[in-house]
């Protein structure tokens, strides 16, 4: 159990400031941790929804689209997300791009 989880569990019985002082944590750190939990959960839900859109675009692009093309296609649909966020979701994906065959590679 993390220190902030302990403070959260015991704050019904004791003051938060007293608990934080006892375990050596800051009160502001506890409240920052407490408010960050919903943000992390909503970010995971948003990533799951975004991944569905990426799946659709990836399949429509014959599984050869990379993150720049996916990012551009999402922007054309009016969905504004960071280029690095799209790249992160694609690289953590179990599916990979199919590489287009080059004429130079076949003749070698």
- Cα-based torsion angle of the residue sequence 63, 66, 70, 71 in order, rounded to the nearest 10 degrees: 170
Helical residues (DSSP H) of the chain, grouped into ranges = 3-10, 16-23, 27-60, 67-76, 83-91, 103-107
Of residues 59 and 75, more confidently modeled: 75
Give the C-alpha separation, 84 to 79, whole Å. 14
In this predicted structure, the answer to whether residue 8 has a pLDDT above a threshold of 80 is: yes
* Region 94-107 average pLDDT: 56
CA distance 56 to 70: 10
For the chain, give the mean pLDDT: 81
Residue 102 has pLDDT above 70, yes or no: no
Question: What gap in Å lies between CA 90 and CA 86, rounded to an integer?
Answer: 6
Contact (Cβ atoms closer than 8 angstroms) between residue 65 and residue 98: no
The model carries a pTM of: 0.50
With 0-12 / 13-18 / 19 or more C-beta atoms within 10 angstroms meaning exposed / middle / buried, residue 54 is buried
Rg of the chain over all Cα atoms, to the nearest angstrom: 23
Give the integer Cα–Cα distance in Å for 45 and 93: 16
């Amino acid at each position: 159990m993390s220190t902030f989880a302990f403070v959260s569990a015991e704050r019904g019985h004791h003051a938060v400031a007293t608990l934080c002082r006892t375990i050596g944590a800051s009160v502001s750190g506890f409240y920052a941790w407490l408010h960050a939990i919903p943000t992390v959960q909503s970010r995971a839900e948003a990533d799951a929804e975004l991944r569905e859109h990426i799946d659709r675009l990836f399949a429509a692009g014959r599984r050869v689209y990379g993150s720049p093309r996916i990012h551009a296609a999402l922007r054309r649909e009016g969905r504004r997300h960071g280029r690095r966020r799209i790249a992160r979701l694609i690289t953590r994906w179990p599916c990979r791009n199919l590489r287009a065959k080059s004429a130079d590679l076949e003749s070698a």
